[in-house]
Amino acid sequence: MDIKYLKGVGEKRAAAFKAIGIDRLEDFLNFIPRIYLKKVTIRELRNYFGENVVIYGKVVDVEYPQKKQQPLKIFLNDSTGTTEIPFFGKSEFRSKQFRLNDNYIFWGKVDEGFGFSKYKLNYRDHLKIDNLEKNDLDFMKFPYFPVYELSGELKKTWIRPLLLSKIVYNAFSSMLKENPNLTDETLPPYIIEGANLPQKKESILRINFPLKFEDVEEARKRLAFEELFYLQLIFALKKRSIKNEVKGISFTKDITKLKSDFLKACGFDLTKAQEKVINEIHADMKSESVMNRLLQGDVGSGKTIVSIFAMLAAVHNGYQSAIMCPTEILAEQHYSTITAFVNKYNEISGENIKTTILIGGQKKKLREELLQDIRLGNTNIIIGTHALIQEKVEYKNLGFVVIDEQHKFGVMQRAKLKEKGLNPDVLVMTATPIPRTLSLTYYGDLDVSIIDELPGNRKPIKTFLRTDSDKQNIYKFVKEEIDKGRQAYIIYPLIEESEKLDLKSAEENYKILKDRDFKEYNVGMIHGRIFSYEKDEVMQNFKDKKINVLVSTTVIEVGIDIPNATIMIIEEAQRFGLSQLHQLRGRVGRGAEQSFCVLIAKNLDDVSEKRLNTLCETTDGFLIAETDMEIRGPGEFFGTRQSGILNFSCTDLNKDKQLLNRARDIAFNLIASDPQLRKPENEIIKKFFSENFKDAVYLMGVA
């Protein structure tokens, strides 16, 4: 049935529903309430002071204001008493909305009343109820009213929250008339019983129209399990297909000498965590299965050096390696770091390993020479951006790929490499420690290695939370550190939505710092709008200690590691995510001297203060990541909502850790025993999967 024929909808509202993905009645099955309102009697209002509730009754009187500042009062009566609902402003308009002796439900916040009405309801919304309409009366039987997300499109058609609740109820009534089962079950009996879950029909009805409040959580968990189970099923199929579809490269050459020369080139001992991860990666590389591994570690834990070892191991076996970065500046930084290390390694080992950088903006002649070197195998380690998998890039024998930070190396990228006849081992690196629940939902098809230890020669960075009024004391401290020969960063936020204003603010502050606060010192600035060569020049001057204070607008611009920089000042720290602040802080503390991070924040509420205090209390990136996710929610954790996988309707990753583990275990065990879902008991899963995950259906064929 077209939803325009649903009572309360019509043509215009149907178009508004379509804009939010609701075309058919069945689409309401996935429309989940945001909150629930308890329906109470007027006598019970005294028990709900300060809370939002719904009351139902008859309008028995309307009192018009005698003076301009007085409210219009609607008096509502039920079998237990009478209460007032005041309206300030638009009295004439409001009075026409309510007719004496008609029945209404009102949503509002309970407050103290005056005169005979001890408690009043501060109005939020209302809905007229027709006592002669069975559907209206049935709607009133439920003790809790669902309130749904009201999009801008729906608001434009004068849909209010309670009307939307009624429209959803009408949709469910129509669906149940057409199909008493409401919807097909999506999980087989053995999973429902084994995981102790309610049926899908019951769960959908109870999450929308609960009979008791406990129903909501039980129903939510059932629907969340389904979301997590099918996501993990995709990961299980994907993981199996990558392992089984094409034979991977087996890097079997002895690496004893390589390891010895590598450690000499390092000039320091690896941590036990680094050694453990190198062994995990090398074991994967020796296997005939294709490696698909996530390497995560805290800021400064030494992920890059681990990735260099893996790339050298691939080169040692006669293959090319590549490292793909999200931005050109990061690619340039990696090129500088990796080339310096490889040159040192070449001197020690007597090898002649060559590195190349491939990024946009290179001159045509140079680019053609680089592409030829890659094609002929004259270069061994290629560093770049997504340009590395473009059509014109041909490899002689690419065997190992490192994907650095914030890059999902998805099916499309792997497919592009396979089109070139390549099926390399892949190592995805992330500089942001990811809570386990998030790594299982975002990178659930990858094996995970964790570097959970920092090099022993590092002193923990001391972090302080301060306000604008402390600035002169902070600057005095910075000057004392500069006089000892140290350097400082001052970071200003640059948020996409307000980029122009932020940049202007940062540039104005830079002038003040340069001309007033630090006029006796050299102050430099970098931001995203200056040319690459200007950026490089400023960074080189900072590295060469020609600049004492570097003003910057974003995390990645800071780029190069400067061991002599010991102070990080972050302005308007409340505008950054915790993990982002932790990344920024990690730009200092790279040398042997004590380093400091000062967070300058303003207008802090309790939540913001709690967030920033977490950073002052710990330098553990994994603990910070967990706190960040708890406060901001998983959808914002990566600083983007682009990942559809994280847009769950019912799952709450902060609450559903055990549910996720159970769903993952069941999904992975299922694919291990029935990879193509051919068993009769899995027919339900196969049908639902095929209808709802069309992009992933091919995985069943190759698993």
> What values do phi and psi take at 291, rounded to 5?
-80, 135
* Residue 568, strand partner residues: 489, 597
The fold of 3-178 is OB fold (Dihydrolipoamide Acetyltransferase, E2P) (2.40.50)
State residue 143's pLDDT score.
Answer: 95
Distance CA 443, CA 290 (A): 16
Q: Where are the domains of the chain?
A: 3-178, 256-451, 462-618
Number of H helices, E strands in the chain: 26, 20
CA 547 to chain CA centroid, nearest Å: 36
Q: Do domains 256-451 and 462-618 have the same CATH topology?
A: yes
Residue 68: partners with Cβ closer than 8 Å, 6 or more residues away: none
Joined tokens for residue 3:
């939803």
Contact (Cβ atoms closer than 8 angstroms) between residue 294 and residue 446: yes
pTM given for the model: 0.76
Helix, strand, or coil (residue 128): strand
Distance CA 54, CA 251 (A): 68
State residue 379's pLDDT score.
Answer: 97
State residue 466's pLDDT score.
Answer: 96
Homologous superfamily (CATH) of 462-618 is: P-loop containing nucleotide triphosphate hydrolases (3.40.50.300)
Segments of the chain scoring below 70 in pLDDT:
114-117, 245-246, 405-415, 417-419, 421, 495-499, 554-560, 633-647, 696-703
pLDDT tens for 345-358 read 999 999 999 999 99
Contact (Cβ atoms closer than 8 angstroms) between residue 118 and residue 49: no
Distance CA 221, CA 219 (A): 5
State residue 33's pLDDT score.
Answer: 96
SS (H, E, C) 240-279: HHHHHCCCCCCCCCCCHHHHHHHHHHHCCCCCHHHHHHHH
The fold of 256-451 is Rossmann fold (3.40.50)
Distance CA 321, CA 311 (A): 5
Contact (Cβ atoms closer than 8 angstroms) between residue 203 and residue 164: no
Crossing angle between the packed helical segments 213-244 and 683-692, to the nearest 10 degrees: 80
